[in-house]
């Protein structure tokens, strides 16, 4: 591991590779304890998370449900609960995966908010979008979708005096692969510091369906390219990103791309600048 790799891994609090199953189980228990402590310290009883059908929300959702179940058992307080939220834009092309995810998570409550009307209503008022190329407009509206989804999650959390869960982890954080004030906004981020293969390992250990564990990751925000793979947007694979974060040797091209993207997206990982 060179100095830059070490610096970035330390900044993102990257979790070392799991050496065995015991290390994996210990990490699961640590993550559940974090979620439970976040609720206790906040004095709140409800967790809210948007479920897309990908491995990240599937894993975070199951950890959330297990955590509130443990809190109910430990305290005798049945008001601890988890709300899983579907947030499609019209009809999601991989809705079957989202439903499989919900079936695995077994949340206390499932609810659906279709964001299409909100996104369309807002876009109609944004005259600045009309002058953009079709591709650029599609990209901008993709970020609008992410932000509307988070507005919906916080509204549900506010209605129930709860906390919103985010799904950011180290392999996305290093690439700045999240929408600022969209999926990057949350109250707690229980996957933080994990690389992609560790998220998959946790999901697999918890019993998630393998087609969700191994599913090609996608933000799925663009209408012109539904299901566009994350790795295509990154220009590097998650295997290379994970290896970089764990201090392993990667190609010169992958190293340069990851460092360049990390530096360019620094503002997304920081609080707003002040005088």
121, HSE (Cβ side, Cα atoms, 13 Å): 6
Selected catalytic residue, list 100, 108, 168, 172: 172
Distance CA 124, CA 30 (A): 45
Distance CA 259, CA 4 (A): 8
Q: Are 157 and 46 in contact (CB under 8 A)?
A: yes
187 is catalytic: no
- Distances in Å between the Cα of 268 and the Cα atoms of 19, 142, 170 are 32, 17, 13
56 is catalytic: yes
Selected catalytic residue, list 27, 56, 168, 230: 56
Residue 232 is given by DSSP the state: H
Q: Among 235, 214, 233, which Cα is nearest to 143's?
A: 233
Angle between helices 238-245 and 196-206 (to 10 degrees): 100
Distance CA 158, CA 154 (A): 6
Q: Exposed (0-12), middle (13-18) or buried (19+): which is 69, by Cβ within 10 Å?
A: middle
Active site residues: 56, 172
């Amino acid at each position: 591991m060179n100095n830059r790799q070490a610096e970035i891994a330390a900044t993102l609090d990257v979790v070392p590779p799991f050496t065995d199953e015991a290390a994996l189980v210990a990490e699961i228990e640590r993550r559940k304890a974090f979620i439970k402590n976040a609720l206790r310290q906040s004095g709140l009883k409800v967790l809210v998370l948007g479920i897309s059908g990908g491995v990240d929300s599937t894993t975070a959702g199951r950890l959330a449900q297990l955590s509130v179940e443990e809190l109910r058992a430990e305290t005798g307080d049945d008001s601890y609960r988890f709300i899983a939220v579907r947030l499609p834009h019209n009809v999601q092309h991989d809705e079957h995966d989202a439903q499989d995810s919900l079936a695995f998570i077994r949340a206390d409550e499932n609810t659906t908010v279709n964001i299409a009307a909100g996104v369309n209503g807002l876009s109609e008022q944004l005259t600045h979008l009309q002058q953009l190329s079709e591709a650029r407009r599609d990209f901008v509206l993709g970020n609008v979708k992410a932000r509307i989804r988070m507005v919906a999650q916080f509204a549900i959390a506010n209605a129930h005096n709860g906390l919103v869960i985010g799904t950011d982890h180290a392999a996305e954080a290093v690439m700045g692969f999240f929408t600022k004030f969209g999926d990057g906004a949350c109250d707690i981020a229980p996957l933080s510091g994990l690389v992609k293969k560790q998220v998959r390992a946790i999901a697999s250990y918890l019993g998630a369906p393998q087609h969700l564990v191994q599913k090609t990751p996608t933000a799925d925000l663009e209408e012109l390219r539904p299901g566009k793979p994350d790795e295509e947007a990154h220009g590097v694979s998650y295997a290379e990103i994970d290896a970089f974060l764990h201090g392993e040797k990667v190609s010169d091209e992958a190293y340069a791309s990851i460092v360049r993207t990390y530096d360019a997206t620094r503002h997304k990982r920081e609080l707003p600048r002040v005088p």
